[in-house]
Amino acid sequence: MSGTVLDGKRISREIQEELRSRIAALAAKHRPPALAVVRVGDNPASEIYVRNKIKACHDLGIRSIEITPPGNVSTSELIETLQPLTADASVDGILIQMPLPAQIDSDLVTSVVVDPVRDVDGFGVHSLGRLVLNEPAPRACTPAGILELLKRYRIPIAGRHAVVVGRSNIVGKPMALLLLHENATVTICHSKTPNLAEECRRADILIAAIGKPAAITASHIKPGAVVIDVGMNRIADRETVHGLFTHDPARLAAFEKNGSTLVGDVEPRAMQELSSAYTPVPGGVGPLTIAMLMANTVQIAETRLAC
């Protein structure tokens, strides 16, 4: 058996195309939606993520503002620097790109700078609390994108057993809550879970979000399960890469050319051969995160401008 590929790129394009008419309506009646992204320092991964977010805004007609304080800024200096942004009513969504440098109190900065109405990432206490109650608020982008993917591929959720491996506030916890609100029976697993493979094998829908390359293996996957791989781990060890991608000559050739490759949290061959459907890495969950960020920005703008 070889699972159906759940094409996150295609679903991301669908979502963004559906936003265009809403953005045009806002621009015609009021103004375009606006998203501010704060990137502190020169973290290479953050630079790539922010560049992709700014590009998506540009492509859709969302006004983007990028603020780039230096990496040695203190917590108080950063809050002061961002004060004009906090007071700018023309900005609909505010995103603080994580991780922030170690000397900065991330929770304090986020709570002071990003008010609940403009929490476009859906990570704040207010947004997460409303998620628990299943009330409207911006949803964390990656879990919201996964839910869209499942629905658009018509994968049943209600009555299914979903296992989420990972308990972060960014993916694991909100993902579990979203599935629960869709009437799945949900198990959350983590680093302290005994018999992890046994728990995972009970899953009709298995979502891996633990940040460890290929940690979920064939022994964790029930044949026919839907497997959602949230991981994005860059590996450069030749022996490891050849062990994981013996079935994929194109990936091995790309590795030899580039010197590294991306692997998710699930062993790729096991995921492909045992699942009924799965998300590839790359091209699965990643594109959905940006699409849902754009959707959150538009939704916030619609709500604010309707007041």
Is 257 designated active site? no
Range 160-168 average pLDDT: 97
pLDDT at 44: 86
Rounded Cα distance between 300 and 287, Å, is: 20
Same fold? 31-118, 141-285: yes
- pLDDT bucket at 174, cuts 50 / 70 / 90: very high
Residue 305, Cβ neighbours under 10 Å: how many? 13
Range 62-76 average pLDDT: 97
**Residue boundaries of the structural domains of the chain:** 31-118, 141-285
Rounded Cα distance between 208 and 197, Å, is: 12
Instruction: Tell me the per-residue pLDDT of 271-282, one tens digit each, with 9 for 90 and over.
Output: 999 999 999 999
Query: Looking at the domain 31-118, which fold is it?
Result: Rossmann fold (3.40.50)
Is 121 designated active site? yes
Range 260-267 average pLDDT: 96
Instruction: Tell me the per-residue pLDDT of 92-103, one tens digit each, with 9 for 90 and over.
Output: 999 999 999 999
Q: Which of 16, 97, 272, 299 is catalytic?
A: 97
Query: Looking at the domain 141-285, which fold is it?
Result: Rossmann fold (3.40.50)
pLDDT cut 70: percent of the chain above it? 99
Q: How far is CA 58 from CA 92, 159, 299, in A?
A: 15, 40, 17
CA 32, 131, 121, 175 torsion-angle sign: negative
Fill in the amino acid letter for 270. A
pLDDT at 80: 96
The strand pairing partners of 234, in sequence order, are 262
Range 121-129 average pLDDT: 93
Range 169-184 average pLDDT: 97
Instruction: Tell me the per-residue pLDDT of 16-55, one tens digit each, with 9 for 90 and over.
Output: 999 999 999 999 999 999 999 999 999 888 898 999 999 9
Per the CB < 8 A criterion, the answer to whether 214 and 224 are in contact is no
- pLDDT bucket at 212, cuts 50 / 70 / 90: very high
Range 158-178 average pLDDT: 97
Cα angle for residues 231, 234, 237 (degrees, 5° grid) = 130
pTM: 0.95
Please state whether the peptide bond connecting residue 99 to the residue before it is cis, i.e. omega within 30 degrees of 0: yes
Using the 8-state DSSP alphabet, how is residue 138 labeled?
Answer: P
The alpha carbon of 54 is separated from its chain's Cα centroid by a whole number of angstroms, namely 16
Please state whether the peptide bond connecting residue 156 to the residue before it is cis, i.e. omega within 30 degrees of 0: no
Rounded Cα distance between 220 and 215, Å, is: 9
Rounded Cα distance between 300 and 147, Å, is: 19
Of 228, 179, 212, 220, the closest CA to residue 187 belongs to 179
Rounded Cα distance between 21 and 164, Å, is: 35
- pLDDT bucket at 1, cuts 50 / 70 / 90: low
Residue 213, Cβ neighbours under 10 Å: how many? 20
Per the CB < 8 A criterion, the answer to whether 165 and 208 are in contact is yes
- pLDDT bucket at 2, cuts 50 / 70 / 90: confident
Rounded Cα distance between 208 and 211, Å, is: 8
Of 138, 43, 61, the closest CA to residue 99 belongs to 43
Q: Which of 92, 121, 204, 265 is catalytic?
A: 121
DSSP string, 150-184: HHHTT---TT-EEEEE---TTTHHHHHHHHHHTT-
Is 7 designated active site? no
Of 160, 144, 109, 123, the closest CA to residue 277 belongs to 160
Location of structure tokens 């949803």? 139
Q: Which of 16, 53, 119, 204 is catalytic?
A: 53
pLDDT at 307: 59
